[in-house]
Amino acid sequence: MRGSGRCFSSGHDVADLGPHHGWSSDPKARRPSQRRRMIIDDSTFWGRRGTCQTILYCDKATIAQVHGYCYGGGLQIAQACDLIIAAEDALFTHPGYRYIGPLGEIVSLIHTMGVRKVKEMMLTG
């Protein structure tokens, strides 16, 4: 898999992530629980027959050819691949960590990157 253009994936529009995770457009609304905010990840990307599960359990070898930005959902897709070939200009992160909190398969990130790098990526966004 590779991006066609200047980057592998610029990710999802962060402004649009809120409603996906239960945030209301009303500024006075109460913040939803962590469980509610993670439902979208369980069902869409990492859940049973989700995009990343399909890639992760593919019988053929999967390779992500990453250049430029690899943000958000693109990071999760690359992480599910068997190999990641990254160009020198590749930048990996998930900006949603800054606004919504932990998303996706954090355990898989820790196994592939290590605890310190994952914490650095999550705390700096």
Encode pLDDT of 8-62 as tens digits: 998 776 666 666 556 666 777 777 677 766 665 555 555 666 778 888 889 999 9
Residue-wise pLDDT for 48-63, tens only, equals: 667 788 888 899 999 9
What is the residue range of 39's domain?
14-124
Domain assignment present for residue 83? The answer is yes
For residue 91, which amino acid is it? L
Domain assignment present for residue 79? The answer is yes
Cα–Cα distance, 56 to 60 (Å, whole number): 10
Do β-strands 69-71 and 91-93 pair in parallel, antiparallel, or remain unpaired?
parallel
The β-bridge partners of 69 are 91
Domain assignment present for residue 2? The answer is no
Domain assignment present for residue 4? The answer is no
* Cβ within 8 Å of residue 53, ≥6 positions away: 46, 47, 80
Domain assignment present for residue 32? The answer is yes
- Cα angle 60, 63, 52 (rounded to 5 degrees) comes to 75
